[in-house]
Amino acid sequence: MTQPTILVTGATGNTGRKTIEILTSKGVPVRALVHKEDERSSGLRAMGAEVVVGNLLDLNAVRSALEGIRTAYFIYPIAPELLEATARFAQAAIEAGVEAVVNMSQISARRESKSMAALNHWTAERVFDWSGLAMTHLRPTYFAQWLIYPNFRAQILDKGQIRLPFGEGRHAPIAVEDQARMIAAILENPRAHQGKTYTLHGPVELSQQGIADAISEVLGRKIIYQPIGLEEYKEELLQSGRSNFLVQHLGEVALDYQHGVFAGEDNIIRETTGIAPMTVQEFVTLHKGLFSA
Protein backbone atom coordinates (compact mmCIF):
# COMPACT_ATOMS: atom_id res chain seq x y z
CA MET A 1 0.00 0.00 0.00
CA THR A 2 1.25 3.50 -0.82
CA GLN A 3 2.32 5.55 2.20
CA PRO A 4 -0.50 7.98 3.11
CA THR A 5 0.31 11.64 2.58
CA ILE A 6 -3.01 13.09 3.84
CA LEU A 7 -4.13 12.95 7.47
CA VAL A 8 -7.78 13.44 8.41
CA THR A 9 -8.61 14.11 12.05
CA GLY A 10 -12.14 13.75 13.37
CA ALA A 11 -12.20 10.81 11.00
CA THR A 12 -15.38 9.21 12.35
CA GLY A 13 -17.24 12.53 12.41
CA ASN A 14 -19.39 13.96 9.65
CA THR A 15 -16.92 15.99 7.61
CA GLY A 16 -13.94 13.75 8.34
CA ARG A 17 -15.63 10.50 7.34
CA LYS A 18 -17.07 11.96 4.15
CA THR A 19 -13.72 13.53 3.20
CA ILE A 20 -12.04 10.15 3.57
CA GLU A 21 -14.74 8.51 1.47
CA ILE A 22 -14.16 11.03 -1.33
CA LEU A 23 -10.37 10.75 -1.27
CA THR A 24 -10.15 6.97 -1.03
CA SER A 25 -12.70 6.56 -3.83
CA LYS A 26 -10.15 8.36 -6.02
CA GLY A 27 -7.31 6.16 -4.86
CA VAL A 28 -5.70 8.84 -2.70
CA PRO A 29 -3.84 7.32 0.28
CA VAL A 30 -5.30 8.63 3.55
CA ARG A 31 -4.46 8.19 7.22
CA ALA A 32 -7.42 8.53 9.59
CA LEU A 33 -6.96 9.64 13.20
CA VAL A 34 -9.63 8.20 15.50
CA HIS A 35 -10.21 8.14 19.27
CA LYS A 36 -10.83 4.41 19.50
CA GLU A 37 -11.28 1.20 17.57
CA ASP A 38 -14.94 0.45 16.87
CA GLU A 39 -17.28 -0.28 13.98
CA ARG A 40 -16.78 3.25 12.65
CA SER A 41 -13.00 2.86 12.43
CA SER A 42 -13.54 -0.53 10.81
CA GLY A 43 -15.68 1.25 8.22
CA LEU A 44 -12.81 3.62 7.46
CA ARG A 45 -10.47 0.68 6.90
CA ALA A 46 -13.04 -0.83 4.56
CA MET A 47 -12.84 2.40 2.54
CA GLY A 48 -9.08 1.87 2.23
CA ALA A 49 -7.82 4.31 4.88
CA GLU A 50 -4.97 3.59 7.26
CA VAL A 51 -6.40 4.02 10.77
CA VAL A 52 -4.37 5.25 13.77
CA VAL A 53 -5.68 5.78 17.29
CA GLY A 54 -4.86 8.92 19.23
CA ASN A 55 -6.10 12.01 21.03
CA LEU A 56 -5.52 15.52 19.67
CA LEU A 57 -4.49 16.61 23.18
CA ASP A 58 -1.68 14.01 23.18
CA LEU A 59 1.28 15.73 21.52
CA ASN A 60 3.27 12.55 20.97
CA ALA A 61 0.31 10.69 19.47
CA VAL A 62 -0.37 13.57 17.09
CA ARG A 63 3.31 13.77 16.14
CA SER A 64 3.31 10.07 15.33
CA ALA A 65 0.11 10.37 13.28
CA LEU A 66 1.65 13.19 11.23
CA GLU A 67 4.82 11.30 10.29
CA GLY A 68 5.20 11.36 6.50
CA ILE A 69 2.10 13.52 6.01
CA ARG A 70 2.04 16.30 3.41
CA THR A 71 -1.38 17.86 4.07
CA ALA A 72 -3.80 17.50 6.99
CA TYR A 73 -7.37 18.31 7.96
CA PHE A 74 -7.84 19.58 11.51
CA ILE A 75 -11.20 19.64 13.27
CA TYR A 76 -12.08 19.73 16.95
CA PRO A 77 -15.51 19.57 18.59
CA ILE A 78 -17.12 22.56 20.31
CA ALA A 79 -15.31 22.03 23.60
CA PRO A 80 -13.11 24.14 25.90
CA GLU A 81 -9.84 22.39 24.95
CA LEU A 82 -9.70 23.67 21.36
CA LEU A 83 -6.75 26.00 21.91
CA GLU A 84 -4.62 23.31 23.55
CA ALA A 85 -5.42 20.89 20.72
CA THR A 86 -4.62 23.54 18.10
CA ALA A 87 -1.26 24.49 19.61
CA ARG A 88 -0.18 20.87 19.99
CA PHE A 89 -1.29 19.98 16.46
CA ALA A 90 0.57 22.99 15.03
CA GLN A 91 3.75 22.07 16.90
CA ALA A 92 3.55 18.44 15.80
CA ALA A 93 2.88 19.49 12.19
CA ILE A 94 5.93 21.76 12.16
CA GLU A 95 8.12 18.96 13.58
CA ALA A 96 6.79 16.51 10.97
CA GLY A 97 7.35 18.89 8.04
CA VAL A 98 3.68 19.09 7.07
CA GLU A 99 3.22 21.41 4.10
CA ALA A 100 -0.37 22.58 4.57
CA VAL A 101 -3.32 22.31 6.96
CA VAL A 102 -7.05 22.79 6.37
CA ASN A 103 -8.64 24.07 9.58
CA MET A 104 -12.36 23.74 10.30
CA SER A 105 -13.44 26.90 12.09
CA GLN A 106 -16.92 28.48 12.15
CA ILE A 107 -18.63 31.47 10.58
CA SER A 108 -19.13 33.19 13.93
CA ALA A 109 -15.39 33.12 14.70
CA ARG A 110 -14.29 36.70 15.35
CA ARG A 111 -12.43 38.73 17.94
CA GLU A 112 -15.53 40.42 19.32
CA SER A 113 -17.61 37.27 19.65
CA LYS A 114 -19.39 36.79 22.97
CA SER A 115 -19.46 33.03 22.42
CA MET A 116 -16.44 31.51 24.13
CA ALA A 117 -16.33 28.73 21.54
CA ALA A 118 -16.42 31.16 18.62
CA LEU A 119 -13.73 33.35 20.21
CA ASN A 120 -11.62 30.23 20.72
CA HIS A 121 -12.03 29.35 17.04
CA TRP A 122 -10.87 32.85 16.04
CA THR A 123 -7.89 32.55 18.38
CA ALA A 124 -7.12 29.06 17.08
CA GLU A 125 -6.98 30.47 13.55
CA ARG A 126 -4.39 33.00 14.76
CA VAL A 127 -2.35 30.29 16.49
CA PHE A 128 -2.21 28.34 13.24
CA ASP A 129 -1.26 31.49 11.33
CA TRP A 130 1.55 32.28 13.78
CA SER A 131 2.91 28.75 13.29
CA GLY A 132 3.99 29.52 9.72
CA LEU A 133 2.15 26.52 8.32
CA ALA A 134 0.38 27.02 4.98
CA MET A 135 -3.17 27.40 6.24
CA THR A 136 -6.68 27.41 4.82
CA HIS A 137 -9.45 28.25 7.28
CA LEU A 138 -13.02 27.14 6.62
CA ARG A 139 -15.93 28.96 8.28
CA PRO A 140 -19.20 27.16 7.56
CA THR A 141 -22.65 28.50 8.30
CA TYR A 142 -25.14 26.18 10.05
CA PHE A 143 -24.91 22.64 8.67
CA ALA A 144 -27.87 21.21 6.75
CA GLN A 145 -27.26 18.13 8.93
CA TRP A 146 -29.03 19.96 11.77
CA LEU A 147 -32.24 18.93 10.02
CA ILE A 148 -31.50 15.23 10.56
CA TYR A 149 -30.12 15.37 14.10
CA PRO A 150 -32.47 13.20 16.20
CA ASN A 151 -33.93 15.93 18.43
CA PHE A 152 -34.38 18.33 15.52
CA ARG A 153 -35.89 15.67 13.27
CA ALA A 154 -38.29 14.72 16.07
CA GLN A 155 -39.62 18.30 16.11
CA ILE A 156 -40.30 18.10 12.39
CA LEU A 157 -41.85 14.62 12.52
CA ASP A 158 -43.86 14.91 15.75
CA LYS A 159 -44.86 18.57 15.77
CA GLY A 160 -44.40 19.70 12.19
CA GLN A 161 -42.26 22.54 13.52
CA ILE A 162 -38.81 24.06 13.48
CA ARG A 163 -38.48 25.64 16.94
CA LEU A 164 -35.56 28.09 17.21
CA PRO A 165 -34.84 31.61 18.52
CA PHE A 166 -33.54 32.81 15.15
CA GLY A 167 -36.04 35.58 14.48
CA GLU A 168 -36.03 36.80 10.89
CA GLY A 169 -32.39 35.85 10.29
CA ARG A 170 -31.39 33.94 7.17
CA HIS A 171 -28.76 31.47 6.04
CA ALA A 172 -28.08 28.93 3.29
CA PRO A 173 -27.68 25.52 5.01
CA ILE A 174 -24.50 23.78 3.92
CA ALA A 175 -24.41 19.99 3.70
CA VAL A 176 -21.53 17.94 5.06
CA GLU A 177 -21.29 16.23 1.68
CA ASP A 178 -20.49 19.54 0.00
CA GLN A 179 -18.07 20.69 2.69
CA ALA A 180 -16.19 17.40 2.35
CA ARG A 181 -15.76 17.89 -1.41
CA MET A 182 -14.24 21.29 -0.67
CA ILE A 183 -11.97 19.90 2.04
CA ALA A 184 -10.79 17.06 -0.20
CA ALA A 185 -10.10 19.45 -3.07
CA ILE A 186 -7.94 21.69 -0.88
CA LEU A 187 -6.05 18.77 0.65
CA GLU A 188 -5.15 17.56 -2.82
CA ASN A 189 -4.15 21.01 -4.10
CA PRO A 190 -3.36 23.21 -1.10
CA ARG A 191 -1.13 25.74 -2.83
CA ALA A 192 -4.05 27.44 -4.60
CA HIS A 193 -5.78 28.01 -1.25
CA GLN A 194 -2.85 28.93 0.98
CA GLY A 195 -3.57 31.87 3.27
CA LYS A 196 -7.28 31.91 2.42
CA THR A 197 -10.29 31.98 4.74
CA TYR A 198 -13.50 30.75 3.12
CA THR A 199 -17.04 31.02 4.40
CA LEU A 200 -19.05 27.99 3.32
CA HIS A 201 -22.73 28.26 2.41
CA GLY A 202 -25.38 26.39 0.51
CA PRO A 203 -26.66 27.87 -2.78
CA VAL A 204 -29.84 29.62 -1.56
CA GLU A 205 -30.22 31.84 1.49
CA LEU A 206 -33.51 31.24 3.31
CA SER A 207 -35.37 32.36 6.40
CA GLN A 208 -36.34 29.66 8.88
CA GLN A 209 -39.83 29.61 7.38
CA GLY A 210 -38.22 29.33 3.97
CA ILE A 211 -36.35 26.26 5.19
CA ALA A 212 -39.58 24.86 6.62
CA ASP A 213 -41.29 25.45 3.26
CA ALA A 214 -38.47 23.64 1.43
CA ILE A 215 -38.83 20.64 3.74
CA SER A 216 -42.62 20.72 3.27
CA GLU A 217 -42.16 20.63 -0.49
CA VAL A 218 -40.23 17.35 -0.30
CA LEU A 219 -42.18 15.65 2.50
CA GLY A 220 -45.61 16.64 1.24
CA ARG A 221 -46.73 17.89 4.64
CA LYS A 222 -46.84 21.33 6.19
CA ILE A 223 -43.88 22.32 8.35
CA ILE A 224 -43.82 25.70 10.08
CA TYR A 225 -41.21 27.81 11.82
CA GLN A 226 -42.15 28.43 15.45
CA PRO A 227 -39.98 31.22 16.93
CA ILE A 228 -39.14 30.71 20.60
CA GLY A 229 -37.40 32.83 23.21
CA LEU A 230 -33.68 32.60 23.82
CA GLU A 231 -34.01 31.56 27.46
CA GLU A 232 -36.50 28.82 26.55
CA TYR A 233 -34.07 27.60 23.91
CA LYS A 234 -31.16 27.47 26.33
CA GLU A 235 -33.24 25.72 28.98
CA GLU A 236 -34.29 23.07 26.46
CA LEU A 237 -30.65 22.54 25.51
CA LEU A 238 -29.65 22.10 29.15
CA GLN A 239 -32.53 19.70 29.74
CA SER A 240 -31.38 17.62 26.78
CA GLY A 241 -27.96 17.17 28.37
CA ARG A 242 -25.90 19.74 26.48
CA SER A 243 -22.89 21.12 28.36
CA ASN A 244 -22.88 24.64 29.80
CA PHE A 245 -20.06 25.52 27.39
CA LEU A 246 -22.09 24.43 24.37
CA VAL A 247 -25.27 26.13 25.61
CA GLN A 248 -23.41 29.41 26.12
CA HIS A 249 -22.12 29.13 22.56
CA LEU A 250 -25.47 28.27 20.99
CA GLY A 251 -27.20 31.06 22.88
CA GLU A 252 -24.75 33.70 21.68
CA VAL A 253 -24.70 32.51 18.08
CA ALA A 254 -28.51 32.53 18.04
CA LEU A 255 -28.19 36.30 18.58
CA ASP A 256 -25.48 36.41 15.89
CA TYR A 257 -27.90 34.66 13.56
CA GLN A 258 -30.57 37.29 14.16
CA HIS A 259 -28.00 39.95 13.24
CA GLY A 260 -26.97 38.38 9.93
CA VAL A 261 -23.67 36.74 10.90
CA PHE A 262 -24.70 33.41 9.33
CA ALA A 263 -26.09 34.90 6.11
CA GLY A 264 -24.63 34.40 2.63
CA GLU A 265 -24.67 32.09 -0.38
CA ASP A 266 -22.01 29.88 -1.95
CA ASN A 267 -19.28 31.64 -3.89
CA ILE A 268 -16.44 29.13 -3.61
CA ILE A 269 -17.55 25.47 -3.47
CA ARG A 270 -18.95 25.36 -6.99
CA GLU A 271 -15.95 27.29 -8.31
CA THR A 272 -13.45 24.98 -6.59
CA THR A 273 -15.09 21.58 -7.04
CA GLY A 274 -17.16 22.10 -10.20
CA ILE A 275 -20.34 21.01 -8.40
CA ALA A 276 -22.84 23.34 -6.75
CA PRO A 277 -23.74 22.60 -3.13
CA MET A 278 -27.11 21.04 -2.41
CA THR A 279 -30.28 23.01 -1.88
CA VAL A 280 -32.41 22.22 1.18
CA GLN A 281 -34.81 20.32 -1.10
CA GLU A 282 -31.96 18.22 -2.53
CA PHE A 283 -30.59 17.54 0.94
CA VAL A 284 -33.94 16.41 2.37
CA THR A 285 -34.55 14.26 -0.72
CA LEU A 286 -31.14 12.61 -0.25
CA HIS A 287 -31.95 11.82 3.39
CA LYS A 288 -35.69 11.34 2.97
CA GLY A 289 -35.64 7.91 4.57
CA LEU A 290 -34.79 9.53 7.90
CA PHE A 291 -38.03 11.51 7.76
CA SER A 292 -40.27 8.51 7.09
CA ALA A 293 -40.42 7.25 10.69
Residues 99-134: pLDDT tens digits? 999 999 999 999 999 999 999 999 999 999 999 999
Task: Give residue 150's pLDDT.
Answer: 80
Task: Give residue 291's pLDDT.
Answer: 81
Least confident among 97-101, 138-142, 155-159, 181-185: 155-159
Task: Give residue 154's pLDDT.
Answer: 80
Q: Is the pLDDT of residue 293 over 70?
A: no
Of 87, 78, 81, 100, the closest CA to residue 6 belongs to: 100
Domain range list for the chain = 6-141+176-200+265-273
Q: How does pLDDT run across 28-84, given as a tens digit for each residue?
A: 999 999 999 999 999 999 999 999 999 999 999 999 999 999 999 999 999 999 999
Describe the strand order of the beta sheet including 30-34 as a list of residue ranges: 50-53, 30-34, 6-8, 71-74, 100-104, 134-140, 196-200
Q: CA–CA separation, 54 vs 74, rounded Å?
A: 14
Q: How does pLDDT run across 201-228, given as a tens digit for each residue?
A: 999 999 999 999 999 999 999 999 999 9
pTM: 0.96
Percent of the chain exceeding pLDDT 70 equals 99
When pLDDT is averaged across residues 249-260 and rounded to a whole number, the result is: 97
CATH number of 6-141+176-200+265-273: 3.40.50.720
Q: Is the pLDDT of residue 292 over 80?
A: no
**3-class DSSP state of 20:** helix
The DSSP result for 111-176, as a single string, is TT-S-HHHHHHHHHHHHHHHHT-EEEEEEE-SBGGGGGSHHHHHIIIIISEEEES-TT-EE--B-H
